[in-house]
């Protein structure tokens, strides 16, 4: 039981060391820039998906009207 608690304490200490000492956190400007890049990418991908869906939907409607 004590071995488990020792390993748990070691894990916790190493985790804190990784998060607060070794990790490099982005600056506010880097965070804003990254967020803007993600928002722009989502917008572009959403636009592409919308255009593909709209085009294919209209094509299927057109093709089914030809068959009728």
pLDDT in tens, 5-36: 999 999 999 999 999 999 899 999 999 999 99
33 φ/ψ sector (left φ>0, alpha ψ -120 to 50, else beta): alpha
Judge whether residue 68 has pLDDT over 90: no
Q: Is pLDDT of 38 > 90?
A: yes
Structural contact between residues 15 and 23, judged by C-beta atoms closer than 8 angstroms: no
Distances in whole angstroms, Cα of residue 36 to Cα of each of 23, 40, 50: 23, 6, 21
56 pLDDT tier (thresholds 50, 70, 90):
very high
Sign of the alpha-carbon dihedral angle for 8, 12, 17, 22: positive
* Beta strand extents in 7-66 (DSSP E only): none
Mean pLDDT of the chain: 95
Q: Mean per-residue pLDDT for 33-60?
A: 98
């Amino acid at each position: 039981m004590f071995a488990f608690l020792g390993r748990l304490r070691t894990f916790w200490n190493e985790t804190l060391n990784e998060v607060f000492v070794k990790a490099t956190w982005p600056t506010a400007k880097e965070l804003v820039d990254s967020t803007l890049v993600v928002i722009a990418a989502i917008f572009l991908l959403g636009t592409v998906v919308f255009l593909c869906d709209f085009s294919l939907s209209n094509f299927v409607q057109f093709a089914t009207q030809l068959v009728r």
